[in-house]
C-alpha cells in the first residue's frame, strides 16, 4: 500500500490574498470598461493571459528542470538550495520567497498546493491558473490528493507515495518531475520544451516526445 503524506508549514501567512487587492480591483474594472466599449477583444485578452499562464511564464521553470536533468552537479545544488540555484540561471525577483524543490521518483510523487490562499512560485511558473486558486483544489489536494490527480488524468500505481507540500507567502515549492524515458540524447533546450507548468505543480508527468513521423 502507498503511504500518502501531507506536509504543512505552520507559519502559513495568507497576507490577505483571498480578497482582491485595490490594484487588482482597479485592473478588473478597467478591463471591464475596455471590453464594454469595444476597445479590447475578450478572446484576445484570454489568449494573452493563457500564454502567460501556460507558455511564457513556465518557460523559466522548464529551464531549471532541464538543467537539473542534464547537469547532476546543478541538480544537487538545486535540491540543497533551490533559491540560489534558480538565481544561477538568472531568475531573480526583488521580493522573491524562499524556494524548495522536491523531486519526483518512481516511488514518490509530489503535489504542490497553497491551502490558505494561492501562493505560487510566479518567478518560475508565471501566473497561477484559475484551478490552483480555487477552494476545491486547495482543500481536496490535502484530503484526497489521488482523487485530484485522477481528475487531471494522472493515475499513479498503488506503491507510489503521494506527498503534498503546502506553500506559504515566504516559502514556495517547485516539483522536479521525472525525466521521461527516451530523452537520453536530447539537449537541454529540447528537454525544456517538454516540461509543462502542470508537471512542475505535480498534477501531471512530463510526457515522452512523440516519435518523429517517417
What is the distance, to the nearest Å, from the Cα of residue 157 to the centroid of all Cα atoms in its chain?
A: 22
Provide the CB-side half-sphere exposure for 65 (13 A, CA).
31
Which one from 84, 118, 134, 139 is the annotated catalytic residue?
118
Collapsing DSSP to helix, strand or coil, 203 comes out as coil
Examine the residue annotation and report whether 118 is marked as an active-site residue of this protein.
yes
* Range 101-117 burial, b when 16+ CB lie within 10 A, else e: bbebeeebbbbbbbbbb
Could you say which of 3, 107, 119, 167 is catalytic? 119
134 is catalytic: no
Please confirm, yes or no, whether 107 is among the known catalytic residues.
no
What are the residues facing 166 on neighbouring strands? 113
Closest CA to 124 of 177, 183, 83: 83
Q: In which order are the strands placed within the sheet that holds 5-7?
A: 5-7, 161-166, 108-113
Task: Identify the CA nearest to 164 among candidates 148, 180, 178, 150.
Answer: 148
Nearest-angstrom CA–CA distance, 96 and 105: 27
Q: Is the dihedral of CA 65, 67, 70, 71 positive or negative?
A: negative
Q: Which of 114, 135, 167, 199 is catalytic?
A: 114
Total residue count of the chain as it appears in this document: 214
User: Is position 114 annotated as part of the catalytic site?
Assistant: yes
Which residue among 117, 134, 135, 199 is the active-site one?
117
Residues labelled as active-site residues: 114, 117-119
Amino acid at each position: 500500500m502507498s503511504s500518502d503524506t501531507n506536509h504543512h508549514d505552520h507559519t502559513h501567512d495568507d497576507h490577505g490574498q483571498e480578497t482582491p487587492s485595490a490594484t487588482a480591483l482597479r485592473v478588473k474594472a478597467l478591463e471591464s470598461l475596455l471590453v464594454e466599449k469595444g476597445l479590447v477583444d475578450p478572446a484576445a485578452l484570454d489568449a494573452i493571459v493563457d500564454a502567460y499562464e501556460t507558455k511564457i511564464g513556465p518557460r523559466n521553470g522548464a529551464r531549471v528542470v532541464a538543467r537539473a536533468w542534464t547537469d547532476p552537479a546543478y541538480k544537487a545544488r538545486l535540491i540543497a538550495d533551490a533559491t540560489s540555484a534558480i538565481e544561477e540561471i538568472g531568475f531573480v525577483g526583488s521580493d522573491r520567497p524562499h524556494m524548495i524543490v522536491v523531486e519526483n521518483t518512481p516511488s514518490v510523487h509530489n503535489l504542490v498546493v497553497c491551502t490558505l490562499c494561492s501562493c505560487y512560485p510566479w518567478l518560475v511558473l508565471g501566473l497561477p491558473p484559475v484551478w490552483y486558486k480555487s477552494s476545491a483544489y486547495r482543500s481536496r489536494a490535502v484530503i484526497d490528493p489521488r482523487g485530484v490527480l485522477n481528475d487531471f488524468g494522472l493515475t499513479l500505481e498503488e506503491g507510489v507515495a503521494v506527498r503534498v507540500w503546502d506553500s506559504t507567502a515566504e516559502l514556495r515549492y517547485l516539483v522536479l518531475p521525472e525525466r521521461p524515458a527516451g530523452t537520453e540524447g536530447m539537449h537541454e533546450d529540447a528537454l525544456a520544451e517538454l516540461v509543462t507548468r502542470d508537471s512542475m505543480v505535480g498534477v501531471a508527468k512530463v510526457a515522452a516526445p512523440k516519435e518523429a513521423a517517417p
